[in-house]
Amino acid sequence: DAGITQSPRHKVTETGTPVTLRCHQTENHRYMYWYRQDPGHGLRLIHYSYGVKDTDKGEVSDGYSVSRSKTEDFLLTLESATSSQTSVYFCAIKPRDRGINEQFFGPGTRLTVL
Amino acid sequence: DQQVKQNSPSLSVQEGRISILNCDYTNSMFDYFLWYKKYPAEGPTFLISISSIKDKNEDGRFTVFLNKSAKHLSLHIVPSQPGDSAVYFCAALIGGNQFYFGTGTSLTVIP
């Protein structure tokens, strides 16, 4: 257990509404990631962060923004949700003190956009 | 464009036999490869990894093989156990932070 929590765990919203998902970690890891998992696509990187206020885009960043104002929190925002953003969203951290590049994942947030 | 591919969506194996899960990639710049296991309603968990400078890494019942010339890696599970039934994702790393995942293979181990 890498001390990662995601909130909410489930959310149903309507097209056009803003949505923010939260990832919280308790172990002061520098690297944090947001992925989405969809059938036929596996996990795809949306955005990642390498420190407070330091973020970068992944392969499917369009329609998403992120913020990291504190080490422990990484927020993913859908400014205007669309049905194509219905997915399961996973947050992950990568411990920098490890000698390998493994990531630890949170439990996921299931988002449904109607 | 999928840079990491798992062409078998599912695999069924008898308990005690070997499970072989395959993964192909297209980007020769990937320098690290990982396998994750995922149960329903949970996040993926790390299983085993291999650096691009090696061709084999073993951890208990799990062995990962890397064939760089073929851009292919495989995960062997011996012996397979019912608790191994899950979805397995391979992943490739480039530049230390960009991870690319395959689409997953659902393994069922039949008791």
Render pLDDT for A67-93 as a digit per residue (tens, 0 to 9): 999 999 999 999 999 999 999 999 999
pLDDT of residue B24: 97
Q: What is the mean pLDDT of residues B55-76?
A: 97
User: What tokens were used for A32?
Assistant: 């944090």
To the nearest whole angstrom, how far is the Cα of B43 from the nearest Cα of chain A?
Answer: 5
Which CATH code fits A4-108?
Answer: 2.60.40.10
For CA atoms B52, B55, B59, B61, the dihedral sign is: positive
| B49 contacts on A by Cβ (under 8 Å) | 100-102
| A42 contacts on B by Cβ (under 8 Å) | 4, 6, 89, 101-104
Per-residue confidence band for A97, with pLDDT thresholds at 50, 70 and 90: low
Domains of chain B: 4-110 (2.60.40.10)
